Structures are given as C-alpha cells and as structure tokens.
Amino acid sequence: MGKTVLGIAGYYHDAAAALVHDGEIVAAAQEERFTRRKHDPSFPVNAINYCLEEGFVDAADLDAIVFYDNPLLTFDRVVQNACAGARHGDAAGARDLFVQAAGAVLGDKIWVNEHVRQTLGTLGRAGRVLFAEHHMAHAASAFYPSPFDSAAVLTIDGVGEWATTTLGMGHGRKLELFAEIDYPHSLGLLYSAFTSFCGFKVNSGEYKLMGLAPYGRPRYAGRIREHLIDVRTDGSYRLDMACFGWLDGMAMPGPRFADLFDGPARQPESPITRREMDLAASIQQVTEEIVLRTARHLRRLGGERNLVLAGGVALNCVANGKLAAAGIFDDIWIQPAAGDAGGALGAALLAHHMAFEAPRRRTDRAGDAQRGSYLGPRYSSEEILAFLDRKGYPYRRIENRAERLALVAEALAAGRIVGWLSGRMEFGPRALGARSILGDPRNPRTQATMNLKIKFRESFRPFAPAVLRERCAEYFDFDGDSPYMLMVAPVNATRRRPMEMQAFEAGDDDMMAVINQPRSDVPAVTHVDYSARIQTVDEDSHPEFRALIEAFERLTGCPLLVNTSFNVRGEPIVCSPQDAYRCFMRTEMDMLVLEDVVLWRREQPPLSDDEDWRKTYELD
C-alpha cells in the first residue's frame, strides 16, 4: 500500500501545502489563493484542507506530515545574526532584528506540531511532524518531479536556515547536497537589495527589476563587482557586509548604496529614472554571470548531463534563458513553484522517496511528474451556474466546444481582452492557461491596455506568449520545451521591426516612447530587447487552452496568445469563479470565460455597494 504524505510551507512568505500519494503528486496550492492575501505567510489551513479533500484523504491516515524548514537551525541563525550585528556596533538595530525574527521562529515555527494538531485534530499515523531542511526541500522539489533519472541539482534563494546556494546530485530516489554558500552571503538577498533600492517591494518586486533591466545599460556592474560582491571563477561568492543592512537591522541595502550608486534610494511610486534602469541591468548581468559560472562548476564536478533548479532565483527566467543557450547542460528542468511555496511539495517528496524509500513514478507522457503544475482546485459547470444564477448575472452557456472556442478566438482577434478560468488552478506564480488573462499578440495596443487598464501595473512590464510547441521556432530562437514559462529567448530576427532609440539612448528617461513602438509582428509579447518569456503548449498540456490557441491560429494564422496571470496588481491569482468575476468587474476586460460559460462585460449589471469587492490591496 502506497504512502500518503502532506508537505507544508509557511511563516515567511508564500505558505502552501502539497499532497503526495504512492509517488504521485495529488494536489498542491498556495494559501494566498484562498485567503486573497498576496504572499500570505500564515499557516496554510485552507491549502491543507483543499489537498486532503482533493485526495479524499482523512488526516488520521497520513503517513507523514513534513514541514519545509528546520526551525531550530533557523533560530540558530537568528541568534548568531543578532550577535554579529551587535559586534558591528549597532546593538539597538540588532536587538530589534532579533526580536522580530525570534518572534516569528519561537512564536510560530517552533510550534508547528501544535498548529498541525489544531488544524487537523491529529498528527496522522506518524504522531509527529517531520522537518526537512529548506534547501533539501527545494532540491527535492526540483529533482523528483523532473524527467531525469540522474541530474545535477542547483538551488539559489535568499536564505534557508543557513544555506543560500547549494550544489548537489540526484540519482534515482537518492538526493544529496554536497556544497553550499551560507548566510549572510546570498545572491538572492543581493538581488532583493537592489529591488528595494530601486523602489520595489522585496519578495515580489524582483520580477519588476528583471523586466526593467533591458531598458538600461549595465554601467554599475563594475561597481557591484568591486564593492559589493567578490565572485570566483567557480561561481562562489562573498558579499562585503559593510554595504548591507540585514546583519544589524531590517534595511536591505546599507547606507553605502547611496554613495556607490549616485544618490538615495528611489521612493516607491515615484518616476523611474535612467539610474534605476541601469541599476536593474547591472545587477541582472552580475546575477547571470554567477549562475553561469556556478553551473559550469557543477557540470565539471559531477559530469551530469542534466540540471534541475529551484529556489527563488530560479524564477529569474532571463538568467534561465542564458543558461539554456550556453549549452552547459544538455537539458534543464526548473520547478514551476521554485520559491518557498514549492518547498511544501519538496518536503512531501523528500519524505516519500528518502524516508519511506518509495520509488519515483512518471505520470505524464511528457516525462515529468509535475502534471503541468495544474494541481489546484477545479470547478464544475454546475457550481459556476449556481453562483451566476444566485447573483443574477447574465451569461451564455455554450456546451459545444468548437462553437465556444470559435467565439472566444473571434473576440481575441477583434482586440478584446478575455479572462479565462479552465480546469485545475496552477501551482506556482505563473498562469499557464488555467487562470489567465488573454489577448492578441499582434495588436500593438495590447501591452499598454493590459498593463494600464487590466493589470493596473507599470507600463514597462512585458507579457508572455503562450505558443504551440511545434510552431515555437517560427517565432523565437528557441526549439526546446518551456511549459512552465521559465525561459526567455530572442524573437526571431525576421520578425523584428527597427525601433527609434536615439533619444532614449542619449539619456531621455521617457520609456513610453520606446514602449509604444511595435518591435515585431507580435509586438505585445516582444520586450524592448527583442526577447520574450515563452510558454510552449504541447499535446500533453492543458487541452482546452491548447484548443483555444489552435482556434485562434485557424482564424488569424498566428499560433500564440498573450498570456498573463488572472489578477490585478496587489492581489493573488484568482482561484474560484467568484474571484474571477470580482477581478473581471474591477477591470476593463471585455469577456469572461468560466469553463463552458461566457459572460460579456457590457451585459453585466453595475456592482451594488454591498457587492463592490474593490478591496484595497497593498501595492507591490
């Protein structure tokens, strides 16, 4: 009889739960999707309940419950961090940091057993919670679902208990980490320091920094290497801690940043200047350099032909694209939920394969065991209709699939923006065609419309193409698989259009003059450097989503769609039909598709005061 294991992550950011049974990933979801609190760090009660319901599992029948972190090792770091801060001369700052960090560890993490018992009423058959180490959970989340029997393993994030970067190997069901870089030296925290200095929110604004980088020049990269980080040829590194604030206070960048980088930090929501663009380009270049050097060193050490990646830095899809293009490894697989949420899945898989010695299984024809990362809740047509009828919202149910997809494709081709809820929700930060906002990539107005009127976010941020796998090479210099939207590649030269860049390159800070220029024949998914973050959609991917792209191709000849996450700035991706309708009505989307039900915005009644779900979300 197969073992059933529940993995849990929480108390820092992106709390989540995952259920594994007999080697198969049954369910996984982030807590934020249920509470509607972005990056919710709290104990994942709702995610746990969902996973157990999806697996038809009683909590008492769980063979193990595994937490993704070791609280005692984390507390050891907190104590030593405070002592180091005091030695640096800021006793008050070190004390405040200790009080906050120790409160989180001693107030929450140390009592995981009790929180599980309160939530589930039991600790399952094992009678206690097991604890993984943070980077082992990351490594397990990357290796075990991968299509490889043997692979090199690389994890990079802000910090686990002590480790910030680890190198390892996986063979069969066995996994080991044999080298690491420890806190306070952290590539993830270095990138986050620049995120903060450029006026964005840490742990969510890193995507913005990555998207901003192509607008700048890496003129600060030399200063970063000279004053902030010493990078060795093998990719190992050390930070000059005099430049950073996390040893003796809560600030990410230290006071020396202002001297090194031409003035004080940018204030959030203030105009973005040439300096921020160049800072973004500079830290992105240094990050890519370290990732490539580390990968080359790891290839030399173990001789493995394949590489798996996890940890928050593995979500840097630009660096991933450079790594794939470098050809250091024959193939690369990246955990779609590479951040802390994926630690819940890794913890469950680690116990399943290492503690219980269960063999690995393949559940996809495509080879990996992630099941497309469609691991969250699904909603039936009956549930959707009950909600709409109860509220009295006008809709049209179109059970004929071809008719429904043709209608949606026609709307997209006419320049309409479509909210799309179909099948099980994605696990991880990317929308992959289950909870997506879709648009026409050929339309030069799509990017501005979606950024400013739909997503309510910065106009410079790019959108991703979801492209039929077999047609990908016709549009992009990429002929591999990128089902989880974790690779950036160049747009084919034959599809590019020249841009007028003289004023911008001469120092004009106005990005809009660049943003509004069509850069290719698919301008809505072409970034300013002629790159795109690609999602390849093959025969084994989400069938309904692929069928929609095919319907759009039949109508227009274009085998791709703009695909962005179904949410607005400051809120999580939608989960339920109710969430989708709320988001739909708070934006200028034209059409909403809920499984086989279609709603037009123009037909919907105005929201009454008690129905107005316009929550105040914290901008990030």
**What are the phi and psi torsion angles at 435 (to 5°)?**
-135, 75
- In this predicted structure, what is the pLDDT of residue 456? 81
What is d(CA 36, CA 573) in angstroms, rounded to the nearest whole number? 8
- In this predicted structure, what is the pLDDT of residue 248? 60
Tell me which residues of the chain have a pLDDT lower than 70. 1, 81-110, 247-251, 362-366, 502-503, 505-509, 608-620
CA triplet 189, 193, 197: central angle to 5 degrees? 170
What is d(CA 520, CA 523) in angstroms, rounded to the nearest whole number? 5
- In this predicted structure, what is the pLDDT of residue 263? 95
What is d(CA 98, CA 96) in angstroms, rounded to the nearest whole number? 5
* Other beta carbons within 10 Å of 84: 14
What is d(CA 419, CA 312) in angstroms, rounded to the nearest whole number? 28
Same-domain pairing of 259 and 388: no
> What are the distances in angstroms from CA 211 to CA 77, 339, 464, 533?
33, 18, 12, 10
Same-domain pairing of 368 and 399: no
Query: b/e per residue, 336-357, with b = 16+ CB within 10 A?
Result: bbbbbbbbbbbbbbbbbbbbee
- The letter for the amino acid at 222 is G
> What are the distances in angstroms from CA 435 to CA 53, 155, 168, 261?
21, 28, 34, 40
Contact 11, 41 (CB under 8 A): yes
Does 34 fall in a domain? yes
Contact 218, 261 (CB under 8 A): no
Contact 416, 445 (CB under 8 A): no
- The letter for the amino acid at 356 is F
CA triplet 71, 75, 78: central angle to 5 degrees? 140
Does 620 fall in a domain? no
Same-domain pairing of 443 and 592: yes
Beta bridge partners of 165: 156, 181
The number of distinct structural domains making up the chain is: 3
What is d(CA 500, CA 172) in angstroms, rounded to the nearest whole number? 53
Stated as kind and residue range, the H or E segment containing 154 is strand 150-156
- The letter for the amino acid at 357 is E
Beta bridge partners of 565: 436
Stated as kind and residue range, the H or E segment containing 565 is strand 560-565
- In this predicted structure, what is the pLDDT of residue 477? 96
Q: What percent of the chain has pLDDT over 70?
A: 90
Q: What is the CATH number of the domain that holds 364?
A: 3.30.420.40
Same-domain pairing of 354 and 398: no
Does 181 fall in a domain? no
- The letter for the amino acid at 87 is R
What is d(CA 327, CA 296) in angstroms, rounded to the nearest whole number? 10
Same-domain pairing of 90 and 112: yes
Domain residues for the domain of 555 are 381-465+496-527+537-603
Could you give the dihedral angle defined by the CA atoms of residues 50, 56, 58 and 62, in that order, rounded to the nearest 10 degrees? -90
Same-domain pairing of 359 and 319: no
Same-domain pairing of 565 and 433: yes
Does 477 fall in a domain? no
Does 485 fall in a domain? no
What is d(CA 385, CA 375) in angstroms, rounded to the nearest whole number? 23
Stated as kind and residue range, the H or E segment containing 122 is none
Does 29 fall in a domain? yes
Over the stretch 486-538, which tens digit does the pLDDT of each residue have? 999 999 999 999 988 766 766 666 777 777 788 999 999 999 999 999 999 99
Smallest Cα–Cα separation from 551: which of 593, 520, 498?
593
DSSP assignment of 262-274: TSSPPPTTSPP-H
What is d(CA 249, CA 82) in angstroms, rounded to the nearest whole number? 9
* Other beta carbons within 10 Å of 453: 12
- The letter for the amino acid at 346 is G
Longest dimension (CA), the chain: 71
**Pairing of β 464-468 and β 531-537:** parallel
Contact 206, 191 (CB under 8 A): yes
Instruction: For residue 326, give both structure tokens.
Output: 């470098």
DSSP 8-state assignment for residue 607: P
Same-domain pairing of 439 and 588: yes
- The letter for the amino acid at 252 is M
Same-domain pairing of 113 and 206: no
Does 88 fall in a domain? yes
Q: What is the CATH number of the domain that holds 583?
A: 3.90.870.20
What is d(CA 469, CA 372) in angstroms, rounded to the nearest whole number? 14
Does 195 fall in a domain? yes
* 425 Cβ contact list (under 8 Å, min separation 6): 29, 33, 374, 375, 376, 377, 378, 434, 435, 573, 575
Same-domain pairing of 301 and 345: no
Same-domain pairing of 424 and 313: no
Contact 414, 320 (CB under 8 A): no
Same-domain pairing of 459 and 319: no
